[in-house]
Structure 1
Amino acid sequence: MAPKSPEFSSANLAKLPEIRTLVLDDSSFDRKRICRMGNGLDFKLRIEEAASVAGLKECLDRQNFDLFLIDYKMPESDGLAALDVIRSHKNQSEAVSIMISGQADQRIAVSAMKSGCQDFILKSDISPDYLRGTVLSALRGLRQFSQYFGDPKPVLNLEEIRSFMQIALEDTYVRSILRETLQEGLRDAVRAIGVNFGLPPGADMTQFLLDSEQPDSFLFR
């Protein structure tokens, strides 16, 4: 389910400075496709391309970027390694990153978000409107661009929140990411308070909850 592109003032977008953007993907076809979409948006992206993490390092040595669009799967490395390179660079630690993947794998998505990505999107979902909304939402958090977006529209009531959540949860992929995140969070909490359910790391949530109901199924250290 592609998100609706956020509504931003056309006047404000016209004032946006160039967004220094790096597209990292080993596929020339995919790079060119993203570049074509980026060059057709109603704000300016100044796009550079890199085909590998080594190429990424060379680009970082030449200039700073505001935005990184990072392919996850590459022959000699992956997008998470690219994120480590970006985050460890002295001048790029605050740039925004969006991970792009050809496969819907919630574990990759969770790892990317934990590593500092602002978003995780599928190549099959990318369209000009989808890319526009994703990029603008990510850039809103950057100090140098926040003045151009204005105050976000407030959520007026609980029903509106419920409506947004219902739309999001209709997406199977979104549900799978939430499930994985909740499972990890609960396991972390259990370990933090010293409770051992004796379950293997891959146990699913149903078994986790069923076992927790048994009076002698856990032990305090």
Structure 2
Amino acid sequence: MEVFKNEPERLPVMAPATGVFAVPPEPEPPLIDVLVLDDSRFDAMQLQRECRSTDLPVRVSIATGIDEFRQMLQARRYHVVFIDYLLPDGDGLAAQEILRGGEKNGQSPVVMISGEARHDVAVEAIRRGCIDYKAKSDLTREALKGLILRALEEGSKIAEQTLRRALQAQREELVAAMREIVREELSRGTGHHDPGAETLRMLRSYGLVPDGGDRDWGDLTEDPAMQFIFRKH
């Protein structure tokens, strides 16, 4: 999976004052924000070091308790969140519910981690939407790199689905508004012998309703299955 697109080749340019050729600095790649919730600062720091060793441009933040975790979720959007299952003020599943209820990170990919592998926790974590469950001993550099890249891919899919839903909602609102305008125009008429005839001709001219044929125009204004036809000019 390609995370960052290659920049076009940068040619040397001459500094005006010195006549010395210089290559413009490469732009910094966007940061991948990682949040770790673990009451063991030692374990959290170890995970932070392993994340930084992946050669990915990561920025790792650490929360050691639920209250701090909640504050950090409100402050920034994270690309992936690692949550320790065993916490002194709750468990990882409860922390995940806090994350899901937030505005910024409600859709952020979550990896549940634990000091020891537990099948029951793994099953429940996956059932609740975690992208994976890992024992801390399995969080090697390569494993973390794979998890981070997978989280980025999951986040991209979620963003695409969210955009599609938003566009569909906008279309439905537009069609509903147009139905209301057509309904009002047809009921009011335009002063001609055939009330609504001018309105229908106008709608046909814009490609909003099909040409020709007798039909019950009430279908267009009342039946949700009937869709407007948008003509491309």
Superposed pair shares fold, TM > 0.5: yes
What CA deviation, in whole Å up to 9, does each residue of 1:116-156 have, x standing for no partner?
11111111111111111122122211128999xxxxxxxxx
Aligned to 2:150: 137
- Structure-2 change in CA distance of 1:112 and 1:16 (3 Å): farther
| C-alpha distance in structure 2 between counterparts of 1:144 and 1:16, whole Å | 21
**Structure 1 residues 36, 126: CA separation in 2 closer, same or farther (over 3 Å shift)?**
same
Q: 2 CA distance for matches of 1:47 and 1:134? A: 14
CA distance in 2, matches of 1:11, 1:18: 11
Percent of residue pairs bearing the same amino acid type: 31
Q: Helix, strand or coil for the counterpart of 2:89? A: coil
Query: What is the rounded CA distance, in whole Å, between the counterparts of 1:39 and 1:25 in structure 2?
Result: 17
Distance 1:71 1:146, change over 3 A: same
* Secondary structure, counterpart of 1:142 in structure 2: helix
Check whether the contact 1:13–1:42 (CA below 8 A) recurs between aligned residues: no
- Whole-angstrom CA distance in 2 between matches of 1:144 and 1:44: 21
| TM-score normalised by L of structure 2 | 0.55
Does residue 124 (structure 1) correspond to residue 133 (structure 2)? The answer is no
Alignment RMSD? 2.5
Asked whether the 8 Å contact 1:26–1:52 carries over to 2, the reply is yes
Corresponding position of 2:92: 79
> Is 1:140–1:146's contact at 8 Å kept on the other side of the alignment?
no
Instruction: List, as ranges, runs of 4+ consecutive aligned residues in structure 1 with deviation greater than 3 Å.
Output: 8-16, 144-147
Q: Equivalent residue for 1:89?
A: 102
> Whose relative contact order is higher, 1 or 2, with alpha carbons under 8 Å and at least 6 apart?
1
> Which residue of the partner structure matches residue 120 of structure 2?
107
CA shift in 2, pair 1:40/1:73, >3 Å: same
Which residue does the alignment assign to 1:198?
none
Q: Secondary structure at the match of 2:105?
A: coil
Q: Output the amino acid matched with 1:32.
A: M
8 A Cα contact 2:38 2:83, kept in partner: yes
Q: In the superposition, relative to structure 1, how do residues 105 and 18 fare at CA in structure 2: closer, same or farther (>3 Å)?
A: same
Structure 1 runs not aligned, ≥5 long: 1-7, 148-221
Aligned pair partner of 1:26 in 14, 39, 43: 39
Provide the aligned length of Structure 1 versus Structure 2. Answer: 140
1:63 alignment counterpart: 76
Structure 1 letter corresponding to 2:132: D
1:133 maps to amino acid? G
Displacement, 1:94? 1.3
